[in-house]
Amino acid sequence: MEDRTTGAGDAAAPLRLDPDRLFPPEATLRGIARRLYEGVKDLPIVSPHGHTDPRWFAEDAPFPDPATLFIVPDHYIFRMLHSQGIPLERLGVPSRDGTAVESDPRKIWRLFAENYHLFRGTPSRFWFEHALTEVLGVETRLTAKTADAVYDAVAARLASPDCRPRALYERFNIEVIATTESPLDPLAHHKKLRASNWRGRVITAYRPDPVVDPEFDGFAAGVTELGAMTGCDTESWQGYLAAHLQRRRYFAELGATSTDHGHPTARTADLAPKAAEALYRKVYLGKATAEEAELFRAQMLTEMARMSLEDGLVMQIHPGSLRNHSRAVYRRFGRDKGFDIPTPTDYVQALRPLLDKFGDEPRLTLILFTLDESAYARELAPLAGVYPALRLGPAWWFYDSPEGMRRYRQAVTETAGFYNTVGFNDDTRAFLSIPARHDTARRVDCAYLAELVADHRLAEDEAHEVAGDLAYRLAKKAYKL
Ligand SMILES: [Zn+2]
């Protein structure tokens, strides 16, 4: 590994975020962006889709050490380090095959600090530095030399009562935050939260992939468990659908307003009842081919849309990720280890069966995401720009970044407008990065709006209103929060 312990920029340089970050450098534009941002920077955070752990809010225990908080669970961080030859086991990522992994958080932290330059120009660095300075008040740039000092400062802050999950929720000015759970989750933490007198609003979302995707690890056992939980006969197609409806209702009682579907493609289907029943039979018995598994997922999206018309849950589709690309890493470490890679994704043909049935239904809200940026202007904006049931989710995952957000607005606005989009989702499990992510979205949107104002496509008072809609009101409306 290259030695960077004596390089330039390695002194204990102070770390401060520039108040004009992400604004255009040109003075006129910058002035407009600043004024727009002033109007939205303090709006509450609405986080309608994400992956924080409800246990944090239910138990309100202090967060663990700096490495366990910032590095071990963050696939953005360890995938970059892995790409430069640092094995996941040295970063403390738990193995599932008994491979020994590093357990000393300070050693993990030092390794991260020695390689911190790898994150230059990435949103990971942006979020991390926002968390250090704005959330934890640590104003030293991370380098190999400052690693221990920064570690100790972060650890001390994490131990203080004002850095407990509930205190941070309040400090972040969160109005509502959604987590994501499987239908098989008993939602114990959400129940505890409902019963507590804490005023934070933490809600769940229904993510049925483990019992909808026949190729999901443990699918058959999951379907059996779904039957046992609900008292429905999941051996039969009708019983299986009834079990979903029942779990959805339970999720809604605990605050859920949405479902989420992480399918490999956006394919939908509308089979005749007898054909759907026969397909389910094959799937249930574990006899479905890969094509039949795909058709089943497709049929289930249409079934979920039908259920949404009944119970009002907003539907989200997050397609197009080829999960666990490295089979070796999957075998050793399991899912969500940075090896989920975007694939080209079709929407126009794929969504047609569902849209034929429910696309004109204003009571349905179906929010589409993509990892295929070429689909924004060609497919997604034209679809969302005409079907009342469709909305566009914000730039997602690899594109949840300043450049990704900019490209998103540029590609979709002229066809879909602002009001077929749904504001921002942080979609994160990294709780301390939430203010940074929302702040980034607000700044990038204000910078984009500033351009429209500067070339006289939009009056500044209208831009103010749009900025508030994008930062706050659209998410509340789309997700019925
Ligand atoms: Zn998500």
Phi first, then psi: what are they for 40, rounded to 5°? Answer: -120, -10
Query: Tell me, what DSSP letter sits at residue 14?
Result: B
pLDDT digits (tens, 9 = 90+) for 441-472: 999 999 999 999 999 999 999 999 999 999 99
Between the CA of 204 and the centroid of ligand 1 the distance, in Å, is: 12
Between the CA of 369 and the centroid of ligand 1 the distance, in Å, is: 10
47 beta partners = 177
Average pLDDT of the chain, as a whole number: 96
Confidence band (pLDDT; 50, 70, 90) for 4?
Answer: low
Q: Which helix (H) or strand (E) holds 478?
A: helix 474-478
Between the CA of 10 and the centroid of ligand 1 the distance, in Å, is: 36
Between the CA of 105 and the centroid of ligand 1 the distance, in Å, is: 27
Decide if 57 contacts 166 (C-beta within 8 A): yes
Confidence band (pLDDT; 50, 70, 90) for 11?
Answer: low
Those residues with Cβ within 8 angstroms of residue 331's Cβ, 6 or more apart along the chain or in another chain: 97
pLDDT above 60: residue 392: yes
What single-letter amino acid sits at 142? L
Q: Token pair of 132, please?
A: 């250090």
- Provide, rounded to the nearest whole percent, the portion of the chain with pLDDT above 90: 96
Cβ-count burial of 36 within 10 angstroms (0-12 exposed, 13-18 middle, 19+ buried)?
Answer: buried
Between the CA of 364 and the centroid of ligand 1 the distance, in Å, is: 20
- Secondary structure (3-state) at 12: coil
Between the CA of 49 and the centroid of ligand 1 the distance, in Å, is: 6
Between the CA of 312 and the centroid of ligand 1 the distance, in Å, is: 20
pLDDT digits (tens, 9 = 90+) for 216-239: 999 999 999 999 999 999 999 999
- Provide, rounded to the nearest whole percent, the portion of the chain with pLDDT above 70: 98
What single-letter amino acid sits at 73? P
Q: Residue 7's pLDDT is what? A: 46
Decide if 416 contacts 385 (C-beta within 8 A): yes
pLDDT above 80: residue 1: no
Between the CA of 427 and the centroid of ligand 1 the distance, in Å, is: 5
Decide if 164 contacts 48 (C-beta within 8 A): no
pLDDT digits (tens, 9 = 90+) for 197-220: 999 999 999 999 999 999 999 999
Q: Where are the beta strands (DSSP E) in 224-378?
A: 258-261, 314-317, 321-322, 341-342, 366-368
pLDDT digits (tens, 9 = 90+) for 94-143: 999 888 999 999 999 999 999 999 999 999 999 999 999 999 999 999 99
Between the CA of 445 and the centroid of ligand 1 the distance, in Å, is: 21
Q: Residue 13's pLDDT is what? A: 83
In whole angstroms, what is the distance from residue 35 CA to residue 320 CA?
38
Between the CA of 442 and the centroid of ligand 1 the distance, in Å, is: 20
Between the CA of 425 and the centroid of ligand 1 the distance, in Å, is: 9
Between the CA of 51 and the centroid of ligand 1 the distance, in Å, is: 6
What is the average pLDDT across 289-302? 98
Between the CA of 27 and the centroid of ligand 1 the distance, in Å, is: 37
In whole angstroms, what is the distance from residue 91 CA to residue 107 CA?
9
Between the CA of 192 and the centroid of ligand 1 the distance, in Å, is: 23
Q: Residue 12's pLDDT is what? A: 72
More confident position, 10 or 374: 374
Q: Read off the pTM.
A: 0.96
Between the CA of 50 and the centroid of ligand 1 the distance, in Å, is: 5
Between the CA of 35 and the centroid of ligand 1 the distance, in Å, is: 32
What single-letter amino acid sits at 255? G
Instruction: Give alpha helix (H) positions in 60-104.
Output: 66-70, 75-83
Between the CA of 428 and the centroid of ligand 1 the distance, in Å, is: 7
Between the CA of 414 and the centroid of ligand 1 the distance, in Å, is: 27
Task: Please provide the DSSP assignment of 310-346 as one string.
Answer: HH--EEEE---EE----HHHHHHH-SSSS--EE----
First-to-last CA distance in the chain? Answer: 49
pLDDT above 60: residue 10: no
Burial state string for 82-109 with b = 16 or more CB within 10 A and e = fewer than 16? beeebebeebbbeeeeeeebbeebeebb
Cα torsion angle, 10, 15, 21, 26, sign: negative
